[in-house]
Chain A
Amino acid sequence: MAEAFLFVLMGIGALAGAVTVVIARNPIYSAIGLLGTLLSVAVLYVAQLAHLVAAVQIIVYAGAVLTLFLFVIMLIGVDKDENRDETLPYQRWIVVALAVVIVGFAAGVTLFGNFDWVPAATTTLPESTNGTIEAVAEPLFTDWVLAFEATALLLTIAAAGAIALAHYRRREV
């Protein structure tokens, strides 16, 4: 019952934030809408026992990524108005068709989905330990250790690339 209450409340919050991201004219409002969605989704993670992922979501997304977004918005400035005239033919209709397909697919899966094909659980966890740091770290450092090392390399490359781009100067002719 508590989870259903949380789901409705945070679902509405997430959707409202998402709509704000799309329709807000000022990018700052878009960023705040994104913050609302991220926090709502983090609460939904906790409701589904994914405690570590919820904490990482708040620290990495709501903390680091959104701060970065706000810095760049302030750097670039928000005064320039966006031209919203559509130049590509039929694009709006393609969007509507895509929306119908995706919503129809999600509704079809939700209403008529047959979950019999879903395989049995590979690792069975008691509810109390599901989503703790130990539970997530155990497969992370055994089954997926190669992918974990690859992400370390990826983060190093991303940081080096960002610094290289920040120091980029147009060559004098």
Chain B
Amino acid sequence: MVDPGWYMALAGALFLIGALGLLIRRNALVMFMCIELMLNAVNLTLISAGRALNDINGQVAVFFILVVAAAEVVVGLAIIVAIFRLRASASVDELSELKG
């Protein structure tokens, strides 16, 4: 059995890369993918911790996170498409629709 700490380290690296991408990239779609990366990193820690503690609730929590992530992707992509129809751009730097 691999020590849970190694899984935590891998998840931390994945989360870090996702956070980095979220800060660096300007394409709304790629930023969304980076959020998915970070969610997956957190799921991995929950599975590892659940196994280390021999507790099934870790997997139940991951199940809920998957559901919420799916809902988030549906609404987020719909918003990106709606914005694209208004502005013909997916870059978050060019968005100022709410400016008064």
Contacts and interface: CB of A to CB of B under 8 A. Distances in A.
B47 A50 contact: yes
Contacts, number: 225
Given A135-B56, A136-B59, A161-B78, A49 B2 contact: no
A131 B10 CA distance: 21
B40 A65 contact: no
Contacts of A84: 24, 26
Contact of B79 (A27, A139, A155, A165): A165
Quick one: which of A41, A49, A83, A102 has the most chain B CB within 10 A? Answer: A41
Main secondary structure on B side of the interface with A? helix
Interface in B45-92: 47-48, 50-57, 59-60, 62-64, 66-75, 77-82, 84, 86, 89-91
Contacts of A11: 10
B27 A103 contact: no
Interface string B1-31: 1100111111011111111110111110110
Interface of B: 1-2, 5-10, 12-21, 23-27, 29-30, 32-34, 36-37, 40, 43-44, 47-48, 50-57, 59-60, 62-64, 66-75, 77-82, 84, 86, 89-91, 93
